Amino acid sequence: MPELPDITVYLERLRTHVEGRTLRRIVLLNPFLLRTANPPIGSVEGRKVIGLRRLGKRIVFALEGELFLVLHLMIAGRLRWLSEGAKPPGRISLALLEFESGTLVVTEAGSKRRASLHLVAGEQALEAMDPGGLDVMQASLAGFTQRLQAENHTAKRALTDPRLFSGIGNAYSDEILHRARLSPLALTNQLAAADIERLYAATREVLTEWMERLDAQAGPGFPAKVTAFHEQMAVHGRHGKPCPVCGAPVQRIVYAENETNYCARCQTGGRILADRALSRLLKKTFPRSIDELE
* Whether 190 and 258 share a structural domain: yes
* Whether 52 and 157 share a structural domain: no
Indicate if the alpha-carbon torsion angle 132, 138, 143, 146 is positive or negative: positive
What's the pLDDT band for 294 if we cut at 50, 70, 90?
low
Q: Which of 104, 127, 150 is the last residue of a domain?
A: 127
* Whether 51 and 101 share a structural domain: yes
Q: What is the mean pLDDT of residues 53-62?
A: 97
At residue 128, what is the residue type?
Answer: A
* Whether 285 and 172 share a structural domain: yes
Q: Count the Cβ atoms, other than its own, within 10 Å of residue 269.
A: 11
* Whether 117 and 165 share a structural domain: no
Q: Round to whole Å and give the CA distance between 183 and 206.
A: 17
**288, pLDDT greater than 80:** no
Q: What is the mean pLDDT of residues 252-270?
A: 91
Q: Which of 127, 160, 188 is the last residue of a domain?
A: 127
* Whether 174 and 272 share a structural domain: yes
pTM: 0.92
Domain CATH code at residue 33: 3.20.190.10
> What are 1-33's pLDDT values in tens digits?
899 999 999 999 999 999 999 999 999 999 999
pLDDT of residue 21: 97
Q: Round to whole Å and give the CA distance between 183 and 137.
A: 22
* Whether 157 and 119 share a structural domain: no
Query: How many structural domains comprise the chain?
Result: 2
- Contact between 199 and 176 under an 8 Å Cβ cutoff? The reply is yes
* Whether 193 and 239 share a structural domain: yes
Indicate if the alpha-carbon torsion angle 220, 224, 229, 230 is positive or negative: negative
* Whether 13 and 71 share a structural domain: yes
Domain range for 94: 4-127
In a domain, 135, yes or no: no
**279, pLDDT greater than 50:** no
Q: Round to whole Å and give the CA distance between 262 and 184.
A: 8
* Whether 146 and 214 share a structural domain: yes
In a domain, 136, yes or no: no
Domain CATH code at residue 203: 1.10.8.50
In a domain, 132, yes or no: no
Q: Round to whole Å and give the CA distance between 89 and 274.
A: 43
In a domain, 86, yes or no: yes
In a domain, 254, yes or no: yes
In a domain, 41, yes or no: yes
What's the pLDDT band for 111 if we cut at 50, 70, 90?
confident
Q: What is the mean pLDDT of residues 204-221?
A: 96
**282, pLDDT greater than 50:** no
**252, pLDDT greater than 90:** yes
pLDDT of residue 283: 44
> What are 117-132's pLDDT values in tens digits?
999 999 999 999 999 9
* Whether 117 and 159 share a structural domain: no
In a domain, 185, yes or no: yes
Q: What is the mean pLDDT of residues 64-75?
A: 97
* Whether 90 and 148 share a structural domain: no
pLDDT of residue 292: 57
pLDDT of residue 224: 85
Q: What is the mean pLDDT of residues 232-247?
A: 97
Q: Say which DSSP state 123 is in.
A: H
In a domain, 133, yes or no: no
